[in-house]
A and B are shown apart, each in its own frame.
Chain A
């Protein structure tokens, strides 16, 4: 049923390929003919205005939603051929910051990431505990392991969810706007963690609203508008003024400072108001 010969992935190999994906909620088409390849060990930013279909694309890639047409392959195998459990061993989801219904401990949250590897038995093995400790260590939350998850700051909570994905030992992670509710310093911590993961060969797809962040931290970018893929490729060559103006329908300026590109609105327009 599931062919595992291509897992785990070599650095630079294509881990997930999306071909001609279309999806609609009822009569409303949310994704139209999207094709995208995700390379292992790279950080891929997903850019697009609100309602452009980013979340739907994520849900299709995670197997939550079944595409109407087109296909998604993990390695060489169609996503629909994976069982829930098998898929979870390879692909992890880092949801947006949220309050859980019950105040679990940080350690307990991360332990749940072990589920695809250990089944549903109530007792964790020594190996599971090791993986949990290691994951907490990697995001620097070892000291907070016995704190309540809902007592942490938003940034720390996001890191706990990253640690859970690490404990899941997934080779591909989808992060849904991980920085949206965080202060500047916490945003940087999340990005640095994401970069460190990519350096270790994990592919990370991050959906983010700040094109500057994608320019600074990501390797690749995919830009979605109204369910269509406008552009995809290396950030340096793909994120251009023209692309951003088309994405957001407004005047945008780019500025070169040293080797870095910065994106900002037209300040002349702002002062005129």
Chain B
């Protein structure tokens, strides 16, 4: 494990030096709030944020991606992205979510590999930023994460007053730190202590959600009328799924003009939408919000446990914070677990 300290104002210098030809992504204060975007200078970066509004999944799995173009009978495949990325500042929960998405986009048997996602992931260095002060809606520790979790990250950074403490947690992270070693100062003992204390404090302040036995519970109560009650407020929009760092459903459609030229695109899709399950016959097996919200919860807390061995929720709290009717997933889980 390599460690090193830099001053905050040297962050961009470090990232760009180590980057070489890589693109640098970092949190910026954009038109719609905090977002991850390609940056070109230090002053674009903001460190004053709890988390981004949209999860960083869109860096690897964009909302709209052209897969191939066509004109008449000629079909041209779009080359898989080659660009290499450095992503700075994603929170440990979102870093963890990337390991889940990895499982979806490259299944362990190796049968289905998603070249678009994987190419971007392969060439990326993830530098995550430990949370100093988790939000009141955060619950990562209840779903296997931590405000200073290392999973999914190549380097974990602690924010200490005017300095940043870098700590590599993968070979790729170590290589990154080696290439820029001249810029790092030796991490001193009090830096390490401060980081440790900060991590402990953040963790201790987190609310605890008891999800023990939740999977077994929800598997048994699929038909329970309680689902009607807990989903009554749901409006049926897709805000929770689009902001969620682990939601990964997509749709593939063709768009063309009158001349027969066009493209095939992959776009995000949401289990909350009527079109998601509409059959060609006109039959729709999930017609109401109860069924759709149940699917969302079952998928995250049961089906993915069967398929990948993990709960696909990292406790980032975005769905709680941005739900137009404050339909709180913590409440729903608590209610279900008490059944």
* A and B are interacting partners: no
